[in-house]
Amino acid sequence: MKKIILLLFSGFAVTASFAQTTSKADVAKKADAIEQKIIGWRRDFHEHPELGNHEVRTAAIITKHLQSLGIEVKTGVATTGVVGVLKGGKPGPVVALRADMDALPVTERVNLPFASKVTTTYNGEQVGVMHACGHDSHMAILMGVAEVLSSMKNDLHGTVKFIFQPAEEGLPAGEKGGAEEMVKEGVLENPKVDVVFGLHIQSYQPAGTITYRPGGDMAAVNPMKIIVHGKSAHGAYPWSSVDPIVVSAQIINSLQTIVSRNLHITQNGAVVTIGAINGGNRSNIIPETVTMIGTIRTLNNDDEKMVIERVKQIATKTAEASGATAEVIIPFEHHYPITYNDPALVAQMLPTLQATAGAANVSLRQAETGAEDFSFYEQKVPGIFIHLGGMPKGGDPITAPAHHTPDFFIDESGFTLGVKALCNLTLDYMGSKGK
């Protein structure tokens, strides 16, 4: 009896494996067939970038494409966001796929025929505008995914929700937007999303590769403001003052002990950075106040709570010891949660990534202290955020142009792998829920 059961199970495994291989071959064929369209979309977006909450032209192109595929479309989500809903021919789970739309206030320096020459006003300054983080690639890839999956509509066991999100890079003061606003406006409801997948192209990772990380992948962000209140005096008579500049210097130095002395560095990393300090306006006047702003980056919730508490404690107690006071505001401006990839979901879907890219081209990556507002979706539903190679093969990761810089460059040869990965994650997840 046991042999019969094993044979039946073995036969089922072979059948399932064959079915998945056939599906992946179909996806690969369809993705390869539209590679030039994907590259064309990307180049168009790259040449005509738009900043967060201003992606009007971008959204119109995406909307037109989704509608041409027969996908139900909602526009104006969180200002300029576009959400498409593709209902499969058979019942099943709802899978959300996300791409970000916005560019950055960066003047492009790359010599490309489709380089951006766009300029605009940002925070009161005239700036260049550039897709210096790869969002043009993300949109083009997801448009390709929509085309492939819509061609399989009748065989889809579930629903796909395509989320084209504005303002991932943040916003000018006083504006709302990004993933947090999309979630508030119900992007994960009606129909209710079961799982979310996303990707980010990387200029320092070879094209044709995928990297992943279960658990904390990208850091939580807590901008901070520390205002030190002292007592002003003539610079020639410092004994008459409570000098907030000296107190601030002591606070800055002491903050660095959080990572070196309070953090379990063999488990997770963290960053405590002061990015600006402002106080006083003359060489011979000790000011009354000093204001510092900075950022806290952490990779798990316990560390986030601990670091915030220590920043507050160090700032207030150091000031108190000198006769000053310190006001600590965390978060200041905005907050991004940890980009946390559900470990069980990663384990479940890792074979899909390996089958798609080849096991040798899929690897575990180190956590990083950069941040992603994809984290807001993952707070609500299980998710996976993967990283797609965009560096020309043979390139040096150390010297590859960094994201958010004028020289940022992406090799387009890896785009179809992104399409295949998101399609196969969707199909295999739906398949795992039964047919």
Active site residues: 102, 168
123 contact partners, CB below 8 Å, separation of at least 6: 105, 172, 173
State how far the Cα of 10 lies from the Cα of 425, in Å rounded to an integer. 24
Rounded to whole angstroms, the Cα distance separating 94 from 430 reads: 8
Give the Cα separation of 384 and 321 in Å (integer): 46
Residue pair 137/410 in contact by the 8 Å Cβ criterion: yes
Number of Cβ atoms within 10 Å of the Cβ of 113: 6
Helix 35-47, helix 56-68: angle, nearest 10: 160
Q: How far apart are CA 104 and CA 168, in angstroms?
A: 10
How far is CA 256 from each of CA 24, 250, 317, 371, rounded to the nearest angstrom? 49, 10, 15, 21
Cα–Cα distance for residue pair 234/286, rounded to 1 Å: 6
- Residue whose C-alpha is closest to residue 256's, from 274, 269, 268: 274
Q: Are 306 and 330 in contact (CB under 8 A)?
A: no
